[in-house]
Amino acid sequence: MPRVAWARLLLAHLGFGASQGNLVGLVAWMLAEGGWFSNDARFNPLNTTLRVTGSVSVNSAGVQAYTTLAAGLAATVATLRERAYARILNCWADDKGPAALAAAVSASPWGTGAGVWLTISEATALVAADPGGDVAAFTSDDDERRALIRQWWFMRHGAEIPGATQVWLLARWDQTGSGDLTLAAIIDGTAPGS
């Protein structure tokens, strides 16, 4: 799953808009932390340490790897809703932009320090290159297979999966009932636009 797609999911789960400023700030924070995309903290781009059922520590700081996308999102949301991170949430709620978020993260106990400042330019480029995408089908009851479909599509096409194609693939997968539809079956070209 691309960083920007995960950022959109987190903002949606927190109830905030995915404006350019919010996305750039969050992606910059993700780049500074390096979670999931640059280390073993699966489904944990911000390197939260909140333990949940099934999670495991990946380093001496207690950063967790989660078993599913939903678990990682839930742990990150729960952590960010702690009182110590209210200033961070206010940045997204008021769409204050990446500089304000960098300052809020730096002033928080999260542990990123001033790292967000160093990655704003890279995050700006990543968000600018992102075509957007339909995240409406991704809600709090989403699971790993939907994330895998989106990740596979992005790796194959270099873009977010179109909404209609995503709906078709999810419906096809859900029709099997037992999860018999594999990514290999999708790759065979039966998906619209594949």
Ranges assigned E (strand) in the chain: 56-57, 64-65
User: How would you label 47-83 residue by residue, b for 16+ Cβ within 10 Å and e otherwise?
Assistant: bbbbeeeebeebeeeebbbbebbbbbbbbbbebbeee
For 138-193, write each residue's pLDDT tens digit: 443 344 556 666 666 665 666 666 666 666 666 665 555 444 445 445 444 455 55
Mean pLDDT of the chain: 80
Residues 43-67, mean pLDDT to the nearest whole number: 95
Q: Are residues 100 and 26 in the same domain?
A: yes
pLDDT confidence band for 27 (50 / 70 / 90): very high
Q: Are 136 and 142 in contact (CB under 8 A)?
A: no
Residues 6+ apart with CB under 8 A from 80: 14, 88, 89
pLDDT at 83 over 70: yes
Residue 191 DSSP label: S
Q: Are residues 75 and 104 in the same domain?
A: yes
Whole-angstrom distance, CA of residue 150 vs CA of residue 138: 10
Q: Are residues 52 and 101 in the same domain?
A: yes
Residues 31-47, mean pLDDT to the nearest whole number: 92
Q: Are residues 108 and 159 in the same domain?
A: no
- The verdict on residue 101 lying in a domain is yes
Q: Are residues 78 and 54 in the same domain?
A: yes
* 3-class state of residue 121 by DSSP: helix
Higher pLDDT, 158 or 42: 42
Residue 177 DSSP label: S
56 beta partners: 65
Q: Are residues 108 and 37 in the same domain?
A: yes
Distance (Å) of CA 90 to CA 40, 104, 126: 30, 9, 23
Q: Which domain holds residue 95?
A: 3-129
Tell me the whole-structure pTM to 2 decimals. Answer: 0.70
Q: Are residues 7 and 66 in the same domain?
A: yes
How many structural domains comprise the chain?
Answer: 2
Amino acid at residue number 7: A
